[in-house]
Amino acid sequence: MDDTRRAVLDAVADGPVSGPALAARLGVSRAAVWKHVEALRESGFAIESDGDGYRLVETPDYGGPAIEFGLDAPFDVEYHDSLPSTNARARDLAAEGETDVVVLADEQTGGRGRLDRTWRSPPGGIWLSILCRPDLPPAHAPVLTLAAAVAVAETAREHGVDAGIKWPNDVLVGGEKLAGILTEMEGEADRVAWVVVGIGINVDPKGLPDGATGLCAHTEEIDRRTFVQHLLERFDDLRTDPEKALAAWREHALTLGRRVRVETGGGTVVGTACAVEFPGTLVVETGDGPVRVHAGDCEHLRPV
Ligand code: BT5
């Protein structure tokens, strides 16, 4: 949403405000104010006008402008009813030079997990990708994945859902997977060019694979609009503060102290997960001493 339209929306939300007063305040013509009001109406905002002026009476339930309205984070939100994959769309936007854009879809028809696995994304879920250009070396980018996992877990907890994080990027409730994160990036040796952090959160628990759960299995009602707003605000807060992200990750970690089996590119590591170090490395205490794992699939094992 451009700045003038945002200003018009903020003003009518505090309304009533007359067209001429608004035009004078924003330094635009009355016709321009009218065009912005019409465009906002088309996006689903119910704006009444009477003798006192324009007044916002209803906000759309979901979508780009609905999420941008009142969002305390510097993201533009691009919404689609259906997309193959929000990560794929965000990568296209990266190639066009965009940044700080969130791609959001109601449904994905080709959602992807890590290692090209399929990610089931029925209508009504929360499927989004955040495109940003952090000032980080590529080796530090995993901290953004941790920040995203924290943002999901904390927002779920705020909604009364007892979520925790399994290393590195799964958000679980009662041992079942509520959300997954797929981070993709491009960069030079010393600096990230762009990062796309893809976040998938199940809402309706029906129609998901075994071992998956949705927010609605654990709480009465979810307002996806405020959920996404809080998620983006928390992510924005953590993305520039790796120490804070890591500390918050540890606070919500389900993996630390557990016996784990981690499948890595270089083999299987079994032992007790004893720490997570910057930028997201898992330290596993094995019979042969500590092993540091940078990436892999982690399974929680029963204690022996
Ligand atoms: C992940 O992969 O957990 C990352 C998922 C990221 C999805 C988001 S949605 C928005 C953005 N756009 C995309 O195209 N992707 C991102 P991984 O750890 O590899 O887990 C994948 C495995 O989880 C699959 O092999 C299934 O076993 C399981 N799975 C598939 N769909 C699921 C779902 N909706 N909920 C829980 N588990 C699921």
Taking the C-alpha atoms of residue 20 and residue 154, their distance in angstroms, rounded to an integer, is 44
Pair (30, 178) in one structural domain: no
pLDDT at 238: 97
Mutate which of 77, 115, 119, 166 to test ligand 1's pocket (most atoms within 8 Å of Cβ)?
119
Residue 39 domain boundaries: 3-58
User: Nearest residue CA, atom 7 of ligand 1?
Assistant: 200
Q: What is the mean pLDDT of residues 165-193?
A: 95
Q: What is the mean pLDDT of residues 276-280?
A: 95
* Percent residues over pLDDT 90 in the chain: 94
pLDDT at 189: 81
112 lines ligand 1 (CB under 6 A): yes
Pair (11, 130) in one structural domain: no
Could you tell me the CATH number of the domain that includes residue 273?
Answer: 2.30.30
Could you tell me the CATH number of the domain that includes residue 86?
Answer: 3.30.930.10
At 291, list the tokens. 């092993």
Digit-coded pLDDT (tens) for 14-44: 989 999 999 999 999 999 999 999 999 999 9
pLDDT at 113: 97
What band does 303 get if pLDDT is binned at 50, 70 and 90?
confident
Say how many domains are in the chain.
3
Pair (163, 295) in one structural domain: no
213 lines ligand 1 (CB under 6 A): no
pLDDT at 188: 84
- 21 alpha carbon to ligand 1 midpoint, in Å? 50
At 213, list the tokens. 């759960």
User: At residue 221, does pLDDT exceed 90?
Assistant: no
Task: Quickly tell me which residue has 């945002």 as its tokens.
Answer: 6
Q: CA 263, 151, 98: angle at the middle one, nearest 5?
A: 95
What is this structure's pTM?
Answer: 0.95
Pair (79, 43) in one structural domain: no
Digit-coded pLDDT (tens) for 83-93: 999 999 999 99
Task: Quickly tell me which residue has 């953004």 as its tokens.
Answer: 144
Pair (236, 273) in one structural domain: no
- 93 alpha carbon to ligand 1 midpoint, in Å? 22
Pair (108, 198) in one structural domain: yes
Asked if residues 255 and 274 have their Cβ atoms less than 8 Å apart, the reply is no
pLDDT at 25: 95
86 lines ligand 1 (CB under 6 A): yes
Average pLDDT score, the chain? 96
